């Protein structure tokens, strides 16, 4: 590429919120044949909210309210978008900023969390004689329960599946070694996601959805936006390897792009031929990506590719 063409291309990009880190990504972008999308925060808004709650096991002590307060408190140790959803819901539900005490918190990437929580009575406003009680809590997906030798019975599995078929994420709450309840969390698809996928497919690109979320949830979201190829339940650490494998086995001799928000997919962004970070505050993503879309506008992916094509046409 001539330096002038690159300057023009990156200049037009920059004035439209499309930061292209030099001539290399600008030229690579028009050779993209496969484009992999992260789900949470990329295809979806990344602002999940709790839309349903269930208790499977209750008695005079363990009520729906108590389960909620315990879950909200346990999630106070986590920075995961799902955690924020649970916390916010809990605060709203009890109309308080106050959560209980969370200790020994451990996030298990791709699965969920474990923690010990106490001071729950102050949250649910109950005066319990046993208010110093500490609960040991696990929150996460089916696999996380299985890892902890807790059986997810058919009834619970069905309840989760109903939500998953609608594209929601269902997480289980286990307290003191028993699966007590479920929270269903919804994250809306971005308004221009379907249009973006449609445009990319019209340009002849292969589109793939890559996520750590449940396969049913992932398929539901994919079908809402028109993506047919789905790889779900991929652990954060395996997303990078997925991109590496794709590059190795790609027969089309095209470039592989990864679009993500950087929340647990930065290594995959860096591994792709063209890493595209979209609408993210995550510094890691901005660093790992070769194209940064400043606006939270997914259609800018199409704009970036068109800009690349135009620049290359100008060169030849």
Could you list the active site residues? Answer: 38
**Nearer to ligand ADP (CB atom), residue 31 or residue 216:** 216
- Is 213 an interacting residue with respect to ligand ADP (CB under 6 A)? yes
When binding is defined by CB under 5 A, the residue of 9, 13, 25, 41 that contacts Mg ion is 41
Q: Least Å distance between CB 220 and Mg ion?
A: 17
Pairwise CA distance, residues 42 & 298, whole Å: 8
- Is 140 an interacting residue with respect to ligand ADP (CB under 6 A)? yes
What number of residues does the chain have?
316
- Is 264 an interacting residue with respect to ligand ADP (CB under 6 A)? yes
Out of ligand ADP, Mg ion, none, what residue 290 binds, judged by CB under 5 to 8 A for its kind, is none
| Residue 294 exposed, middle or buried by CB count within 10 Å (0-12, 13-18, 19+) | middle
> Which listed range, 139-147, 241-249, 268-276, 283-291, lies at the site for ligand ADP (CB under 6 A)?
139-147
What's the maximum distance between 2 C-alpha atoms anywhere in the chain?
80
The DSSP element (H or E) to which 86 belongs, if any, is helix 81-93
**Alpha carbon 230 to chain centroid, angstroms:** 14
When binding is defined by CB under 6 A, the residue of 156, 171, 186, 220 that contacts ligand ADP is 171
Residues that contact Mg ion, how many (by CB under 5 A): 5
Out of ligand ADP, Mg ion, none, what residue 261 binds, judged by CB under 5 to 8 A for its kind, is Mg ion
Which are the contacts of 185, defined by CB distance < 8 A and separation ≥ 6?
Answer: 48, 49, 50, 51, 82, 85, 86, 168, 169, 170, 171
What end-to-end distance do the CA atoms of the chain give, in Å?
Answer: 9
Which are the contacts of 112, defined by CB distance < 8 A and separation ≥ 6?
Answer: 138, 139, 140, 141, 144, 171
- Is 261 an interacting residue with respect to Mg ion (CB under 5 A)? yes
Which are the contacts of 187, defined by CB distance < 8 A and separation ≥ 6?
Answer: 40, 44, 45, 46, 47, 48, 49, 81, 169
Q: Least Å distance between CB 251 and Mg ion?
A: 28
Give the CA angle between residues 260, 5, 205 to the nearest 5°.
40
- Is 139 an interacting residue with respect to ligand ADP (CB under 6 A)? yes
Which 8-27 residues touch Mg ion, going by CB under 5 A? none
- Is 38 an interacting residue with respect to Mg ion (CB under 5 A)? yes
Which 272-311 residues touch ligand ADP, going by CB under 6 A? none
Pairwise CA distance, residues 313 & 316, whole Å: 5
- Is 156 an interacting residue with respect to ligand ADP (CB under 6 A)? no
When binding is defined by CB under 5 A, the residue of 10, 28, 34, 40 that contacts Mg ion is 40
* The two structure tokens encoding residue 54: 């269930």
Pairwise CA distance, residues 13 & 308, whole Å: 10
**Nearer to Mg ion (CB atom), residue 164 or residue 261:** 261
- Is 263 an interacting residue with respect to Mg ion (CB under 5 A)? yes
Interface with Mg ion (CB under 5 A): 38, 40-41, 261, 263
Interface with ligand ADP (CB under 6 A): 39-40, 75, 78, 80, 82-83, 110-113, 139-141, 169, 171, 211-213, 236, 264
């Amino acid at each position: 590429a001539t330096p002038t063409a690159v300057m023009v291309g990156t200049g037009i990009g920059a004035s439209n919120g499309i930061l292209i880190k030099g001539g290399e990504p600008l030229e690579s972008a028009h050779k993209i044949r496969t484009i992999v999308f992260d789900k949470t925060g990329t295809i979806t808004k990344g602002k999940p909210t709790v839309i349903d709650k269930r208790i499977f096991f209750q008695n005079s002590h363990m009520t729906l309210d108590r389960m909620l307060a315990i879950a909200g408190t346990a999630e106070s140790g986590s920075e995961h978008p799902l955690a924020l959803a649970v916390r916010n819901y809990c605060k709203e539900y009890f109309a308080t900023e106050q959560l209980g005490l969370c200790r020994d918190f451990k996030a298990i990437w791709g699965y969920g969390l474990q923690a010990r929580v106490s001071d729950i009575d102050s949250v649910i406003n109950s005066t319990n004689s046993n208010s110093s009680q500490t609960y040991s809590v696990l929150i996460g997906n089916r696999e996380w329960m299985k890892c902890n030798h807790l059986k997810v019975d058919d009834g619970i599995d069905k309840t989760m599946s109903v939500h998953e078929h609608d594209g929601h994420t269902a997480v289980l709450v286990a307290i003191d070694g028993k699966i007590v309840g479920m929270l269903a969390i919804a994250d809306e698809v971005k308004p221009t996601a379907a249009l973006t996928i449609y445009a990319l497919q019209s340009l002849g690109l292969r589109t793939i959805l890559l996520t750590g979320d449940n396969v049913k949830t992932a398929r539901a979201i994919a079908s809402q936006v028109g993506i047919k190829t789905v790889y779900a339940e991929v652990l954060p650490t395996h997303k990078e390897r997925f991109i590496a494998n794709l590059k190795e086995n790609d027969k089309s001799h095209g470039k592989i792009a990864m679009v993500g928000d950087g929340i647990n997919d930065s290594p995959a962004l860096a591994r792709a031929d063209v890493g595209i970070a979209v609408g993210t505050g995550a510094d890691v993503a901005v660093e790992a990506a070769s194209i940064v879309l400043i606006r939270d506008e997914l259609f800018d992916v199409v704009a970036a590719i068109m800009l690349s094509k135009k620049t290359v046409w100008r060169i030849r």
